[in-house]
Amino acid sequence: MKPDLFQAPDYYLLDDLLTEEHKLIRDAARAWVKREVSPIIEEYAQKAEFPKQIISGLAEIGGFGPYIPTEYGGAGLDQISYGLIMQEIERGDSGVRSTSSVQSSLVMYPIWKYGNEEQRNKYLPKLATGEMIGCFGLTEPDHGSNPSGMITNFKDMGDHYLLNGAKMWISNAPFADIAVVWAKNEEGRIHGLIVERGMEGFTTPETHNKWSLRASATGELIFDNVKVPKENLLPNKSGLGAPLGCLDSARYGIAWGAIGAAMDCYDTALRYSKERIQFDKPIGATQLQQKKLAEMITEITKAQMLTWRLGVLRNEGRATSAQISMAKRNNVNMALEIARDARQMLGGMGITGEYSIMRHMMNLESVVTYEGTHDIHLLITGMDVTGFPAFK
Ligand code: TGC
Ligand code: FAD
């Protein structure tokens, strides 16, 4: 792969909206990605393997629980810092950002928000350092966009719960130490349970042959009469709103992350357009390629503004789930379209692993589907503005 020459576009001088602390955090994450992710990520994506050696570095830049209070090992940062870290990590690779998102927003967040003090103290510090890796089991083979129909269930056996069912498409599942699993009790109410690797009847087969997110491990969670200790139930919230509340936090991070992938594609295409000579002039001097670049930087700038504002609203506790949906949907689609155009701008070179674009493009095909598909987020916006849910 070519050396990482990334220069972040900031067309509207949005750095002026960041504090010195934001910039320090962002720049540290950016430098780490250049040093530790860019040189190795293509090789790991090609061999479809998550680079486990970067886990401790991810923890050091605040990639695990950036906004979780420091008393539990988190970095205690605000929502803009969290977003900037996600942006920089996904600039390197969406699969690495996935690992960070799942650990932070889908494992640490529910334990922090819905768990008790013993659960927080037992799991959060180890998750923050990466000593322990977690995954989040909501999706099932027959229930993706409609998780309320889930059939994974648990029964109260007196001194423990008995868990049965299966989850599919679970990031980090093949090597996770714990899984936050969403399952129905005998009354059909959804609860979160912490399932630990090694519990009898719990297996995590890996999903192979993905063309997307190849540097992130995906798998199933199978529960065959798993005895889960009663103290592993998250006591402080139940119902579908509990897992969906975690998704709000993860989707917000993805909205920032997608900007990172888009910036990397734009920056690569811009540089290439100045160097690649055809018909005796740089391709960047042609109107057609300038149109692509001009539209890319316009869309990146709009997404940066939208997402910064969303971060301010999150910091003030005023962001709605529907606002988060809009940003996730807009930014991921924006990044995917930029990746496709950037790929074309590099001609044949665009399909090779010499450049990051094709990897970003394929990764974004998952990002546009997971954490709520492009269509589901549109329906969430539609419901928000009309008051009519059109899902069913
Ligand atoms: P609905 O009746 O609308 O809502 C049920 C309850 O949930 C509440 N709620 C939310 N709470 C917090 N945050 C949100 N975003 C919420 N959205 C809804 C709602 O108020 C209600 O509460 P209550 O107290 O009244 O019961 O539920 P529905 O069944 O009609 O579904 C609505 C729909 C379609 C929007 C929802 O099911 C949905 O978002 N579906 C998409 C599923 C999804 O996003 N799955 C993601 C799985 S995890 C993943 O992909 C990780 S990728 C990992 C990585 O980053 O690598
Ligand atoms: P479906 O729900 O079957 O949707 C198929 C198509 O139908 C989509 O285009 C959808 O938009 C459309 N559709 C569905 N309902 C409607 C409707 N009412 N109106 C109009 N169109 C509709 N899940 C987890 O729980 N944990 C994870 O860690 C996780 N990681 C993932 C990693 C990867 C790489 C991938 C690909 C997925 C991951 N997921 C995870 C699952 C992900 O959240 C689901 O794939 C996603 O929610 C969509 O579900 P589905 O694939 O079953 O598609």
Per-residue model confidence as pLDDT tens digits over 290-300? 999 999 999 99
What is the β-pairing status of strands 277-278 and 281-282?
antiparallel
State the ligand closest to the CA atom of 381.
Answer: 1
Contact residues for 146 (Cβ-Cβ < 8 A; gap 6+)? 391
**Cα-to-centroid distance, 392 and ligand 2 (Å):** 16
State the ligand closest to the CA atom of 138.
Answer: 2
- Closest CA to ligand 2's atom 26: 170
Q: What is the pLDDT of residues 78-124, one digit of tens each?
A: 999 999 999 999 999 999 999 999 999 999 999 999 999 999 999 99
**What's the pLDDT band for 37 if we cut at 50, 70, 90?**
very high
319-326 average pLDDT score: 98
Enumerate residues lining ligand 2, CB below 6 A: 102, 135-139, 144-145, 169-171, 213, 218, 366, 369-371, 373, 375-376, 391
**What's the pLDDT band for 269 if we cut at 50, 70, 90?**
very high
Q: Is the pLDDT of residue 246 over 80?
A: yes
Q: Would you state the pLDDT for residue 2? A: 80
Q: Would you state the pLDDT for residue 165? A: 98
- Closest CA to ligand 2's atom 4: 145
State the ligand closest to the CA atom of 362.
Answer: 2
130-141 average pLDDT score: 98
| Residue 275: DSSP 8-state | H
Instruction: For residue 371, indicate whether it is catalytic.
Output: yes
**Cα-to-centroid distance, 205 and ligand 1 (Å):** 26
Q: Is the pLDDT of residue 267 over 90?
A: yes
Contact residues for 135 (Cβ-Cβ < 8 A; gap 6+)? 102, 106, 107, 170, 171, 172, 173, 176, 178, 179, 180, 221
58-74 average pLDDT score: 98
Enumerate residues lining ligand 1, CB below 6 A: 98, 101-102, 136, 138-139, 145-148, 171, 239-241, 244-245, 247-248, 250, 321, 370-372, 376, 380, 389, 391
**Cα-to-centroid distance, 241 and ligand 1 (Å):** 6
**Cα-to-centroid distance, 324 and ligand 2 (Å):** 17
Residue appearing with tokens 């090789």:
43
- Residue 71, Cα to own-chain centre: how many angstroms? 24
**Cα-to-centroid distance, 70 and ligand 2 (Å):** 34
- Closest CA to ligand 1's atom 16: 244
- Closest CA to ligand 1's atom 30: 391
Q: Is the pLDDT of residue 1 over 90?
A: no
Q: Is the pLDDT of residue 230 over 80?
A: yes
Q: Which atom of ligand 1 is nearest to the CA of 147?
A: 37
Q: Is the pLDDT of residue 61 over 80?
A: yes
Q: Would you state the pLDDT for residue 71? A: 98
Residue whose CB lies within 8 A of the most ligand 2 atoms, among 50, 97, 139, 391, for a mutation test: 139
Q: Which atom of ligand 1 is nearest to the CA of 372?
A: 44
Q: Which stretches does DSSP call E strand in the chain?
A: 134-137, 153-156, 160-171, 178-184, 190-196, 202-203, 218-229, 277-278, 281-282
Contact residues for 27 (Cβ-Cβ < 8 A; gap 6+)? none
Tokens at 39, concatenated? 């040189």
Mean pLDDT of the chain: 98
Q: Would you state the pLDDT for residue 392? A: 87
Burial code (b: 16+ CB inside 10 Å, e: under 16) for 248-257 equals bbbbbbbbbb
Residue whose CB lies within 8 A of the most ligand 1 atoms, among 90, 93, 240, for a mutation test: 240
**3-state class of 282 per DSSP?**
strand
Determine contact, residues 109/249, Cβ cutoff 8 Å: yes
